[in-house]
């Protein structure tokens, strides 16, 4: 019997039903299951010897933001299994696909879809900012698109609480990040420069990718060094040519500016700017 099957059987004895392995992600088993109170849920089981302190911090961050375009944690804790302790999280199930899957199926996002994406994720980033938090890993794989069209930000595994001591080694050459979506200050582990502008940058890259079908930093790059050089140059932008979406293009270009002081200074400012653009877009019908 596979380890995942044995784990599922263990949790079935705790009251969960119809437990099925959804996927494995690094040191984590992810299952779907039926909960007696919450219906369909996601069960995450983290393998032993992981960074439990970071996992616990992730849980507290999600608990502080849940319900605002993020998942909801119903239960968490430790369970002993075959003489080892596993950490588990039971959270809400989002009926949909992640944005990477959606892009693979549809190639591009319509402008209407990009407006919905930006609105939803900016709401989440603004909420995080208000709690002195930075997600640091916004990418298509960490955005869920529910079948009703709502977008959710998930996976707070490397989120940082700016009011607490960083868990990342200050002497590390690179900070935690996903290649092609993180700004240069995050890549270079410049801790004092990490704030919501990191998340705003990542969201800008995703919007660019959704509209063009390519990630300007990953496309054509042979290795991580090439990716970093492209990010340092920051020479990619959406065209502004007198079209009806110029305001949106300018906003996205600003969000993914290589210089952090040329991006919106905060999630609040980004939201206010975007809302003006959205209002103008909606007024045109």
Nearest to 75 by CA among 155, 15, 125: 15
| Euclidean distance between CA atoms 130 and 233, whole angstroms | 31
137 is catalytic: yes
Among 76, 137, 195, 199, the one annotated catalytic: 137
**Angle, CA of 203, 145 and 282, to the nearest 5°:** 70
| b/e burial code for range 164-183 (CB count within 10 A of at least 16 → b) | eeeebeeeeeebbbbbbbbb
CB 223 within 8 A of CB 165: no
Residue with tokens 């002195």: 132
Give the bridge partners for 84, in sequence order: 81
Work out the number of other CB atoms within 10 angstroms of the CB of residue 267. Answer: 24
Helices (DSSP H) in the chain: which residue ranges?
3-12, 52-65, 99-106, 111-130, 184-187, 196-212, 224-233, 246-255, 267-283
| Euclidean distance between CA atoms 206 and 215, whole angstroms | 8
Active site residues: 137
């Amino acid at each position: 019997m596979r380890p995942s099957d044995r784990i599922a059987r263990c949790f079935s004895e705790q009251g969960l039903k119809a437990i099925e392995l959804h996927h494995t992600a690094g040191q984590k088993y992810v299952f779907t299951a039926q909960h007696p109170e919450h219906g369909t849920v996601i069960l995450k089981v983290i393998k032993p010897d992981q960074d439990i302190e970071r996992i616990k911090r992730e849980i507290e961050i999600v608990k502080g933001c849940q319900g605002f375009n993020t998942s909801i944690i119903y239960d968490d804790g430790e369970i002993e299994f075959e003489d080892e302790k596993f950490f588990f999280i039971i959270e809400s199930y989002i009926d949909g696909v992640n944005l990477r899957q959606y892009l693979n199926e549809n190639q591009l996002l319509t402008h209407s879809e990009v407006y919905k994406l930006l609105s939803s994720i900016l709401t989440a980033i603004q909420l995080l900012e208000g709690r002195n938090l930075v997600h640091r890993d916004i990418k298509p794989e960490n955005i869920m698109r529910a079948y009703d069209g709502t977008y959710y930000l998930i996976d707070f595994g490397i989120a940082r609480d700016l009011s607490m001591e960083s868990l990342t080694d200050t002497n590390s050459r690179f900070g935690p990040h996903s290649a092609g979506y993180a700004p240069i200050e995050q890549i270079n582990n410049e801790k004092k420069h990490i704030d919501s502008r990191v998340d705003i940058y990542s969201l800008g890259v995703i919007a660019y990718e959704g509209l063009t079908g390519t990630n300007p930093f990953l496309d054509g790059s042979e290795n991580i060094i090439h990716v970093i050089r492209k990010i340092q140059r920051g020479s990619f932008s959406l065209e502004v040519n007198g079209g009806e979406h110029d305001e949106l293009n300018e906003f996205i270009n600003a969000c993914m500016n290589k210089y952090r002081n040329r991006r919106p200074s905060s999630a609040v400012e980004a939201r206010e700017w975007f809302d003006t653009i959205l209002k103008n877009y909606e007024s045109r019908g």
